[in-house]
Amino acid sequence: MAKPVLYSYFRSSASWRVRIALAYKGIEYDYKAVNLIKDGGQQLTEEYRELNPMRQVPTLVIDGVILAQSLPIIEYLEETRPDKKLLPQDPAKRAQARQIAEMINSGIQPIQNLAVLKLVGEWTGDESKKATWAKHWITNGLQGVEKMLSRTAGRFCVGDEVTIADLCLIPQMYNATRFGVDLSPFPLINRVVDECGKLEAFQKAEASSQPDAPVEPK
């Protein structure tokens, strides 16, 4: 069986989620970088569109199947490689994990992604508005996540086991920091982030650890 191939961009939140899942489940894969900025966006080529009709990352080629969209990819990995589960056995907790994941996946990340921010800059004619926009919607979304965690959190977002919710939270917090969001009102989120940061799978998936991450000057 051929090794899975992940088409990814180091800073893409959606790609990052899948990288955590692959690392957490111990799945080795080949990394194919798709630079969302270089050459006008390498995801926009016709060649890449054959893999991913939405021209987005990530795309995972695995088991002879081409999969896109981070949450369905993670669900596929969960169903085909059930060791080290990312969805709780308890139906209520499983629904809560999915709820938090979707709060981020649908309610925060799309509003502040690269394509949206590009349009905000173009429509307003003011590049500084992009950061203001992103900061507003990330803050608004994290307020909801923090409230949800007051019902569900243990060591991680839902109880004491890593779930799909944690995979979504960590990349979003990278963006929160990047856009200057004040994180002090989110003690539960910050605690979960600290706990996730102790795990090797999350460390391996970090943006700065990817082959296409810019090399920081010494």
Tens digits of per-residue pLDDT, 97-138? 999 999 999 999 888 777 787 888 888 888 888 888 899 999
pLDDT (tens digit per residue) in 46-94: 999 999 999 999 999 999 999 999 999 999 999 999 999 999 999 999 9
DSSP 69: S
pTM to 2 decimal places: 0.94
Neighbours of 1 (CB within 10 A): 6
Q: How far is CA 17 from CA 34, 122, 217, in A?
A: 16, 29, 27
CATH of domain 91-203: 1.20.1050.10
For residue 218, what pLDDT is reported? 43
According to DSSP, the residues that pair with 32 across neighbouring strands are 7
13 with 209: CB under 8 angstroms?
no
What band does 40 get if pLDDT is binned at 50, 70 and 90? confident
Domain with CATH 3.40.30.10 in the chain: 5-84
**Residue 216's pLDDT is what?**
65
Residue 68 makes CB contacts below 8 A (sequence gap 6+) with: 51, 52, 53, 54, 56, 58, 59, 60
pLDDT at 110: 83
Phi, psi angles (nearest 5°) of residue 8: -145, 160
Q: Look at 1-5, 30-34, 157-161, 167-171 and tell me which has the smallest mean pLDDT.
A: 1-5
Architecture of domain 5-84: 3-Layer(aba) Sandwich (3.40)
pLDDT > 80? residue 35: yes
Q: Is the pLDDT confidence value at 197 over 50?
A: yes
CATH 1.20.1050.10 region(s) of the chain? Answer: 91-203
